[in-house]
Amino acid sequence: MTTVVGTSLKRKEDPKLLVGTGYFSDDIKLPGMLHAVILRSPHAHAKIKSINVEEALKSPGVVKIYTGKDLEGKIGRIPSSWLVPDCNLKEMPQYPLAIDRVRYVGDGVAMLIAEDKYAARDALDLIDVEYEVLEPAVHQKKAMAEGAPLVHDEVENNIAFHWKAGEIPEEIFKTAEVVVKESFHVQRVAPSPMETRAAVGDYHPATGELTLYCTSQNPHIHRMVLSGVLGISEAKLQVIVPDMGGGFGGKIGVYPDEALVGYASRDLQQPVKWIEQRNEHFMASNHGRDEIIDVEVAGSRDGKLTAIRVKNTANMGAYLSTMGPGVPTIDFGLMITGSYDIPHASCETFGVYTNTTPTDAYRGAGKPEATYQIERIIDLFAREIGMDPLDVRKKNFAPKEAFPYTNAQGLVYDSGDYEKPLKKALEIIDYEKLRKEQEELRKEGKLIGIGLSTYVELCGFGPSAVAGAIGFQGGVWENSTVRVHPSGKVTAFAGTSPHGQGHATTFGQVVADKLGIPMDDIEFVFNDTKSVSMGWGTYGSRSTAVGGGAVSMAADRVVDKAKKIAAHELEVSTEDIEFENGVFKVKGVPGRERTFQEIARSANYAWNLPEGMEPSLEGQAFFDPENFVYPFGTHIVVVEIDQDTGEIELKRYIAVDDVGRVINPLTASGQVHGGIAQGVGQAMWEGIVYNDEGQLMSGTFMDYTMPKARFFPEIENSFTETLSPVNPLGSKGVGETGTTASIPAVMNAVVDALEPFGITDIDMPLTPEKVWRAIQKGREQA
Amino acid sequence: MKIENSHTFKGVSVEALWNTLQNKEVLRGALPGCKSFEEVEKDVYDAELGINVGPVKGIFTAEVRQVEKREPEFYKLLVHGKGKPGEIDAEAEMRLEDSEAGAVLTCSADVKVTGILASVGQRVMGGVSKLLLGQFFKDIEKETKKIANL
């Protein structure tokens, strides 16, 4: 049987984007469309004493100005959708516009609507807000201290939640041969998709329906949450996501802005468009990370780890965002042992309110942080006992025979063989030779560093019962419909929400194989809540594992029905029909056959169907997986550091990932490359900085360094395949592996390079200045 | 943000410099981008300044207070300004000292800014402030010499 699954097809999605005919939110032009801009707080923490809109209203073209007070009682609060249980979680209300107090630079204060965007922007400056500036809480550890300013008066010590998982008997650390401690700060970063956020509301007064075009990774979640916020039936609210230039977690969140646009369109009975500016994005779109992680491991001199104890102090920002609370708790705290069989683990997480932009999921969401601390501390442990970090890893891996493997925090890893990608990566890089070369070069004064990351991560959110148990306010199943037209061409629908990942291509490959038809005969529909029955979104590397599973099952159902029709027409029993390469054949009788297209016509014409069979040929499936998936792999980074300038050169980057079945190696590699760029970005260049007044100091791309292609060597990536038993495709997730694996791999390489100076840790991002200063300090101490 | 700059007014006495710095008309002319400068009560002024710092452009309305005056050697300026790019709070210590070459004026200011001024302007503000202060010093020097008929 010919197959396209497993082959590198170019993405169907690309031609229209490459020739500039994509259709993004800002391309939407509707008759009578108005333009909205949002006035944002310049203060981190202040009381709103008065808002004077008189001058602004007189400005030409201005239609309406809303303040928080104007909307009181007319619009609901924006809720968090991950209410983690058993952690005394205090969710404080976030209204679409601040009512009497602003809590971060960027907090919405007023929305101004005008006939064109220029008039809107000009008039915005004329709104006069009088603030009484309050002292802000900015840094999470300082915010928890006695006497710190309170972000919300009701929340003592600014502690939004205090979560714990796992307990370690006291004697484990007391009697351990070796205990190693370190504190890591996985710094705050901005997701920075190429397209900022956007929303266009189009209310239809005659029907009471609202169409909301917006940037979202999960249009059905937007529909569900916003129907509550706006008080509109889900059946009357249609959310459409046009082409979207990336999300990376930053577009999971349901934000005040989309609710405001929907409200204004309904109130004014005219379409309203809002496009976020880039500097607005830096302050008003959810940030990622900002977790201070104190970790302690116990082990023996022979390299075996026996316990890991972690305290995570997570900066949640001013409000709990859509998925915010789940990131430093469930996503992080249950994965702290990584790929290692460490018998004892405990994690305690403080979620802290501060006067900063809320934090939410960002590529990897909790797993990069978990991986960072374990992959870094294992290197420090290796150094402490004088072993090669590679050998410590091998000694502690959860063994292949143990799968499905239950980690110390109770998660069941679906499948794994951690030695396999490690072995492949070591061969590619010729590890032993490299270590010898490193030694030689060190003698010549050259600083070469080798960093390993043998990660595992939790992906593919499901099943729904587990989501409920961990406080996620929704399901995590997926659905798909595969609709066969009379010609045999196919329109398929899926609930996941592509925005650059290439679902139409990879899901198309699955359908093409199942139905034995060409890729060109298949079109997919996504991102429209009216066309697609339901979906829980694209995040947590779940689209292929969960969404692809639903697609595969829906296609199977088409084949099942088609087989019955073929058997009926060929006057044999269904068991006698075999289906191969798009042809239904009677076993053992050459020539007695029907093509897929013939059966498609028969099913749709319904002239002669088996008794009792309903017409048409359409398969629908709802797939709720039995478990998460756990992709894993080995990344190895080689760096060279210039000791005079602190400049780091990435010499080689080897990534061997095991993401289960790879549907399309080309698009999967694309995901790995992009993920690595973002992870290395975190390690080396990116970082959101607030000053002590809570002012955002990194509000432009001149102050916030994005990774660029020229910063990288060729990424040498390949895959091993260990199938997942929990979904029909056997696939795991590939979207976040690169980010999760690369951050510690780079840091381990840099710290390894600096070993001669006695350096054991440096804070991210690894700017040349920081590296240079560390070298100077190391020299002084030597 | 700390900003510090000083200037030597050649051949000008500390007393002459002090008088110029206290002259409202002179200040109005010398303050960069000054559109209006009114004394609303003793030692309190309302000013309107046009600022154009790279990406940061706009009119600032500011209240300027002179406090802790010790003629002719010291005074402090408290500035609270507000404009579309953000708000400015500054506390500037102005020191006047004699030297062989002439009076030396040292300005050391602690400036807090918000909004776009902070996130975009911060990087360029140190440099631009020095530039503006330099211009201010030159204008004051010219005026002082004019008044003193030097």
Rounded mean pLDDT of A581-610?
97
**A706's tokens:** 């994005």
What's the longest Cα–Cα distance across chain A? 90
Residue B56 contacts residue B118 (beta carbons within 8 Å): no
The burial class, CB within 10 Å (0-12 / 13-18 / 19+), for A251 is buried
The Cα of A124 is separated from the nearest Cα of chain B by a number of Å equal to 9
Rounded mean pLDDT of B20-38?
84
The string over A136-152, giving b where at least 16 C-beta atoms fall within 10 Å of a residue's C-beta and e elsewhere, is: bbbbbeebbeeebbbbb
Nearest CA in chain A to B61: A128
Residue A398 contacts residue A416 (beta carbons within 8 Å): yes
Percent residues over pLDDT 90 in chain A: 98
Say yes or no for a CB contact (<8 Å) between A695 and B123: no
**How far from each other are the two terminal CA atoms of chain B, in whole angstroms?**
37
Say yes or no for a CB contact (<8 Å) between B118 and A125: no
- A632: which residues sit within 8 A by CB, 6+ positions away? A339, A416, A418, A421, A454, A455, A456, A457, A657, A658
Name the segment(s) of chain A with CATH classification 3.90.1170.50: 14-134+194-246+251-284
Residue A779 contacts residue A716 (beta carbons within 8 Å): no
Considering only the beta carbons, identify the residue of B87, B115, B123 that sits closest to A703.
Answer: B123
Q: For position B54, what pLDDT does the model report?
A: 67
Residue from A657, A672, A727, A650 nearest A363 by CA? A672
Q: What is the pLDDT of residues A336-345, one digit of tens each?
A: 999 999 999 9
Say yes or no for a CB contact (<8 Å) between A279 and B84: no
Task: Give the residue carrying structure tokens 């009088």.
Answer: A130
Instruction: Say whether residue A43 is in contact with chain B using an 8 A CB cutoff.
Output: yes
Considering only the beta carbons, identify the residue of B58, B87, B116 that sits closest to A279.
Answer: B116
Q: Looking at the predicted structure, is the pLDDT value of residue B56 above 80? A: no
**A3's tokens:** 């197959």
Residues of B in contact with A277 (CB under 8 A): none
User: What is the Cα–Cα distance from A15 to A20, expressed in whole angstroms?
Assistant: 9
Q: What is the pLDDT of residues A388-420, one digit of tens each?
A: 999 999 999 999 999 999 999 999 999 999 999
Concatenate the DSSP letters of all residues of A248-260 into one string.
TTTTTS--HHHHH
Q: What are phi and psi of A81, to 5 degrees?
A: -110, 10
User: What is the Cα–Cα distance from A162 to A550, expressed in whole angstroms?
Assistant: 37
User: What is the Cα–Cα distance from B56 to B127, expressed in whole angstroms?
Assistant: 14
DSSP code at position A754: T
Which among B87, B114, B117 is the top mutation candidate for probing chain A, defined by the most A β-carbons within 10 Å of its own β-carbon?
B114
Handedness of CA A729, A735, A736, A737 (dihedral sign): positive
User: What is the Cα–Cα distance from A46 to A142, expressed in whole angstroms?
Assistant: 19
Say yes or no for a CB contact (<8 Å) between B118 and A699: yes
In which domain, by residue range, is B75 found?
2-147
Q: For position B139, what pLDDT does the model report?
A: 87
Element (H, E) at A275: strand A272-275
Q: What is the mean pLDDT of chain A?
A: 97
The Cα of A256 is separated from the nearest Cα of chain B by a number of Å equal to 20
Q: What is the pLDDT of residues A55-106, one digit of tens each?
A: 999 999 999 999 999 999 999 999 999 999 999 999 999 999 999 999 999 9
CATH architecture of A477-623: 2-Layer Sandwich (3.30)
Nearest CA in chain B to A105: B115
How would residue B72 be classed by pLDDT, with cut points 50, 70 and 90?
Answer: very high
Q: What are the strands, taking DSSP E only, across A91-172?
A: 101-102, 108-114, 128-133, 159-165
The Cα of A698 is separated from the nearest Cα of chain B by a number of Å equal to 6
Q: What are the strands, taking DSSP E only, across A501-628?
A: 522-525, 577-580, 583-586, 593-595, 617-623
User: What is the Cα–Cα distance from A292 to A297, expressed in whole angstroms?
Assistant: 16
Amino acid residing at A6: G
A-B CB pairs within 8 A amount to: 42
Asked if this assembly's ipTM is beyond 0.90, the reply is no
Chain B positions contacting chain A at CB under 8 Å are 58, 84, 86-87, 112-116, 118-120, 122-123
Residues of B in contact with A105 (CB under 8 A): 114-115, 118-119
Handedness of CA A12, A13, A18, A20 (dihedral sign): positive
Q: Looking at the predicted structure, is the pLDDT value of residue A1 above 70? A: no
- A302: which residues sit within 8 A by CB, 6+ positions away? A385, A395
- B46: which residues sit within 8 A by CB, 6+ positions away? B36, B37, B38, B40, B61, B62, B63, B64
The Cα of B52 is separated from the nearest Cα of chain A by a number of Å equal to 16
Tell me how many domains chain B contains. 1
Say yes or no for a CB contact (<8 Å) between A696 and B114: no
The Cα of A360 is separated from the nearest Cα of chain B by a number of Å equal to 21
According to DSSP, the residues that pair with A405 across neighbouring strands are: A413
Say yes or no for a CB contact (<8 Å) between B119 and A702: no
Rounded mean pLDDT of B98-110?
91
Which among A107, A135, A696, A697 is the top mutation candidate for probing chain B, defined by the most B β-carbons within 10 Å of its own β-carbon?
A696
Residues of A in contact with B122 (CB under 8 A): 697, 703
Residues of A in contact with B58 (CB under 8 A): 125
User: What is the Cα–Cα distance from A439 to A375, expressed in whole angstroms?
Assistant: 23
- A505: which residues sit within 8 A by CB, 6+ positions away? A9, A10, A11, A12, A13, A519, A664, A667
Say yes or no for a CB contact (<8 Å) between B119 and A283: yes
Residues of A in contact with B119 (CB under 8 A): 105, 279, 282-283, 695-700, 703
- A34: which residues sit within 8 A by CB, 6+ positions away? A63, A113, A114, A115, A264, A268, A270, A271, A272, A273
Q: For position A2, what pLDDT does the model report?
A: 66
CATH class of A291-461+627-781: alpha beta
Say yes or no for a CB contact (<8 Å) between A691 and B118: yes
Rounded mean pLDDT of B121-147?
80
Residues of B in contact with A699 (CB under 8 A): 116, 118-120
According to DSSP, the residues that pair with B113 across neighbouring strands are: B88
CATH architecture of A14-134+194-246+251-284: Alpha-Beta Complex (3.90)
Q: Is the pLDDT higher at A125 or at A7?
A: A7
Rounded mean pLDDT of A436-451?
96
The model carries a pTM of: 0.94
The Cα of B115 is separated from the nearest Cα of chain A by a number of Å equal to 4
Residues of B in contact with A43 (CB under 8 A): 87, 114
Name the segment(s) of chain A with CATH classification 3.30.365.10: 291-461+627-781, 477-623
CATH number for the domain spanning B28: value is 3.30.530.20
Count of other CB atoms within 10 angstroms of residue A714:
8
Residues of B in contact with A695 (CB under 8 A): 113-114, 118-119
How would residue B141 be classed by pLDDT, with cut points 50, 70 and 90?
Answer: confident
Rounded mean pLDDT of A497-515?
97
Q: What is the pLDDT of residues A689-737, one digit of tens each?
A: 999 999 999 989 988 999 999 999 999 999 999 999 999 999 999 999 9
Say yes or no for a CB contact (<8 Å) between B119 and A105: yes
Q: For position A142, what pLDDT does the model report?
A: 98
Q: What is the pLDDT of residues A620-675, one digit of tens each?
A: 999 999 999 999 999 999 999 999 999 999 999 999 999 999 999 999 999 999 99
